[in-house]
Amino acid sequence: MKSHYDVIIVGAGSMGMAAGYYLAKEGTNTLLIDAFDPPHSNGSHSGDTRLIRHACGEGYEYVPLALRAQELWDELQQKTSETIFRKTGVVTFGPEDSDFVNQAIAGGKKYSLPIDTFDNGEEINERWTGITAPEAHFGCYEPEAGVLFSGNCIRTFRKLALQSGADLLTHTPVDNLDVTEHDVTVHTKEGSYTADKLIVSAGAWNKKLLSDLNLNLALQPSRQTIGWFDADESIYQADGFPGFFVDLPTGIYYGFPSIDGAGLKIGRYDNGEKIEPEYMNREFGILPKDEDDVREFLKTFMPQAAGKLNVGKTCMFTNTPDENFIIDLHPEHSHVAIAGGFSGHGYKFSSVVGEILSQLATSGTTNHDISLFSATRPSLQTQGSTTV
């Protein structure tokens, strides 16, 4: 293990591991450091699968990034025998006043994406017998969207990064960061390491680490739960049923078809408890709503999937006040790049975020539009931040 690197990445999860690969394959001397052993169940990438949608209800700005992310996932698939992506399609629906659904449809049209639209719930129900949407609902379907296998993705990025010459320290929490005008020092109990450039992509631990760099941002981790429910396989298996995102006045739900007989997977997007990552209770079922919220949704909208709970898991979101990401250079240190606050909708972008971080670390700029993700935008500032 060397003591000095071109770039050190603190946090080798979704975005960090991707960045490590893209840096190493270009010959950049790279060290990745993680408090655990990625992929693992302690961050925001656990739970086996993630949806990738291209017609993003979060805003037009996300669509080009989603399309580039898909290109990179497809490239990654060519480098491994592990399943990276499965094209199941994704249906998005909700009541007629749903801003999310309207934005998804508008974004799909703006970028000429191949989407089918539904004017009412009857059309949705006729398309998929496993869905019982109210007549007043509308939606869209993206046949080219689908499911990412998050653990496989990170394992593949890790393998390729190491093959390309990157070093990786696992089970190595970072104690603190020192940044001077020209370099950085990362301190761990295993030793200290220096580099010309630094990437901080530590998920729920970003807030603490960035405070070492006098950057105090409004980042709030939350405890989230997901469950796999016994479902009628003739209706909900992945060969015929899509991923889904449902925007309701009472809650926002997302889920996956049954893959390899595991059951329909479902989570609620909007009701996580605020937590500190070190103290989060990772036991599924400690709160009645862990199961009850999603079961009630299934009873109403997908009744043949409301069987017994096969397994439940927890993970974390790290949220920003406006639910937009942070991808930027530190406002005072141009040799420090930051990625965080992915607010529960970031995993599908981790391939392209890795590409962006590698570009920021090597050239200080990127060919992607990341203006929406500025670390200095007013909504992120908290008392004591240098960027107020």
DSSP, residue by residue, 187-215 = EETTEEEEEEEEEE--GGGHHHHHHHTT-
pLDDT band at 382 (very low <50, low <70, confident <90, very high): confident
- Please report the pLDDT score of residue 43 as a whole number: 83
Position 380 confidence tier, pLDDT thresholds 50, 70, 90: very high
Of residues 2, 62, 231, 253, the one with CA closest to residue 130: 231
pLDDT digits (tens, 9 = 90+) for 197-221: 999 999 999 999 999 999 999 999 9
By the 8 A CB rule, do 372 and 59 touch?
yes
What pLDDT, on the 0 to 100 scale, is given for residue 44?
Answer: 87
Return the percentage of the chain with pLDDT > 70, whole number.
Answer: 98
Sign of the CA dihedral running 69, 61, 375, 221: negative
Residue of 241, 216, 219 lying closest to 231 (CA atoms): 241
Give the domains, in start order, of the chain with CATH numbers: 4-45+151-217+323-380 (3.50.50.60), 60-149+221-319 (3.30.9.10)
**Confidence grade of residue 385 (pLDDT, cut at 50, 70, 90):** very low
User: 20 near 45, Cβ under 8 Å?
Assistant: no
Q: What is the pLDDT of residue 379?
A: 95
The tokens for 306 are: 């409301």
Contact by Cβ (8 Å): 120, 137:
yes
> Each residue of 145-162: pLDDT tens digit?
999 999 999 999 999 999
Q: What is the pLDDT of residue 271?
A: 85
Residue 41 has pLDDT above 90, yes or no: no
Least confident segment among 5-14, 252-261, 360-369, 378-387? 378-387
Which is nearest to 281 in space by CA: 251, 254, 309, 313? 313
The model carries a pTM of 0.96
Nearest to 375 by CA among 345, 346, 334: 334
Report whether pLDDT(234) > 80. Answer: yes
Q: Could you report how far apart the first and last alpha carbons of the chain are, in Å?
A: 39
Give counts: helices (H), strands (E), the chain: 9, 20
Please, are residues 55 and 63 in contact by the beta-carbon 8 Å criterion?
yes
Position 125 pLDDT exceeds 80: yes
- Asked whether the beta carbons of 202 and 340 are under 8 A apart, the reply is yes
pLDDT for the residue numbered 383: 47
